Amino acid sequence: MFMKALEGIRVLDLTHAMAGPICTMFLGAMGAEVIKIEPPWGEMTRMFPPLVKGVSPYFAFLDRNKKGVTLNLKHPKGLDMFKEMVKKSDVVVENFWPGTMDVLGLGWETLRELNPGIIFASISGFGQTGPWSNRRSFDPIAQAASGYMWLMKDSIDPEGPPHQAPEAIADTIPGFSALIGILAALVHRSKTGRGQRIDVAQMDAMIAVSPSFSFWTLARTTFKRAVSGYGVRVSGCHKAKDGYVMFSLPPGRITDWFRELIGMEELTWDAVAAWVAERTVDKVVELLVKAGIPVAPVHDLDDVLANEQARAREMFVKVEHPVLGETTLPGFPIKFSETKGDMTTPAPLLGQHNVEVYSALLGLSEDEVEALRKEGVI
């Protein structure tokens, strides 16, 4: 039986939408006890369409590996209950509008007084400081503000309008940034005994991982334009008989191998496109792989679900959900030799673990928990 890297770490998860929940989901996958705390009516992602048997696919994906409780932080009793849980926890994660935790009476100074070892991570659009700190944000807002949406047009039409990325990249990268910060803070605490405040902004996180800023400030170009100019111009996505294939040809021996393979000294887009179009995707991939050329078929989602490599790496796992039944969802991408990650615990039903959590952490009986529910505290 593998132990998990974060066993013994307790996380109070006040997050909603995606940036926060993806962070806490990975904490849970690595063994932390993540307690997802929602208002009695549930957090917004539960209602993200389309609902399947009343369950959002978004919530089912993001909130695995967590225990679910309800708690009204605006009720005095609810506030007191949360403070008691802080005393027995290691990490608090939230992604409210900046200042909300202070208004609730749960700001950093309060939390550190309750528990000097607490790690308090906040994820917001623009951070806790600066002239934009009071602005609300979601993924597309951060994509726009960070320049990412402007960069996207280079892949579609450099002269056209900006484009939004199809997945919530400006939630995911900030979520992982917060995850890195929390893990670093846990190491620091193990040496000093002190917790700390972590402030992650979506805009900051997107800027931090964009090499285009280096290309722009030094050479007035972007990463995409530089790659297009550096690589052999026939690299890219080509149409085969039965689908599309993507290959990359950097200057040097890989391009020489490609020339030898197709018997063409002077490479042009049209000539290479014609060579690809005469063959099936599988045949093009087979030939290029054998020649040592980076290549892959352009998969749709069903292709990825069935892909032998993804399955060999356990990148799709079966999750037994109490309402949906058996579902297939992405697995854990980090392959530890000693502390295996797990993504198979289903997202909780609303308030599913109220009795379990409040009994274990606060010593409440089942009858007391029910009384709190009737009072609107949970």
Give the catalytic positions in this structure: 171
> And the tokens for 170?
């400006």
Reported as type and span, the H/E element at residue 198 is strand 197-201
Are the C-beta atoms of 71 and 377 separated by less than 8 Å? yes
Q: Closest by alpha carbon to 45, among 29, 22, 27, 67?
A: 22
Return d(Cα 15, Cα 37) in angstroms, integer: 8
Query: b/e per residue, 260-288, with b = 16+ CB within 10 A?
Result: eebeeeebeeeebeebbeebebeebbebb
Query: Could you give the angle at the alpha carbon of 148 between the alpha carbons of 144 and 151, nearest 5°?
Result: 120
> How many other C-beta atoms lie within 10 A of the C-beta of residue 160?
9
Return d(Cα 226, Cα 229) in angstroms, integer: 5
Return d(Cα 279, Cα 242) in angstroms, integer: 8
Reported as type and span, the H/E element at residue 33 is strand 33-38
Sheet holding 243-247, edge to edge: 236-240, 243-247, 295-297
Are the C-beta atoms of 132 and 164 separated by less than 8 Å? no
> And the tokens for 49?
């369409």
> How many other C-beta atoms lie within 10 A of the C-beta of residue 257?
16
Return d(Cα 11, Cα 24) in angstroms, integer: 8
DSSP per-residue string spanning 37-58: EE-TT--GGGGPSSPBTTB-HH
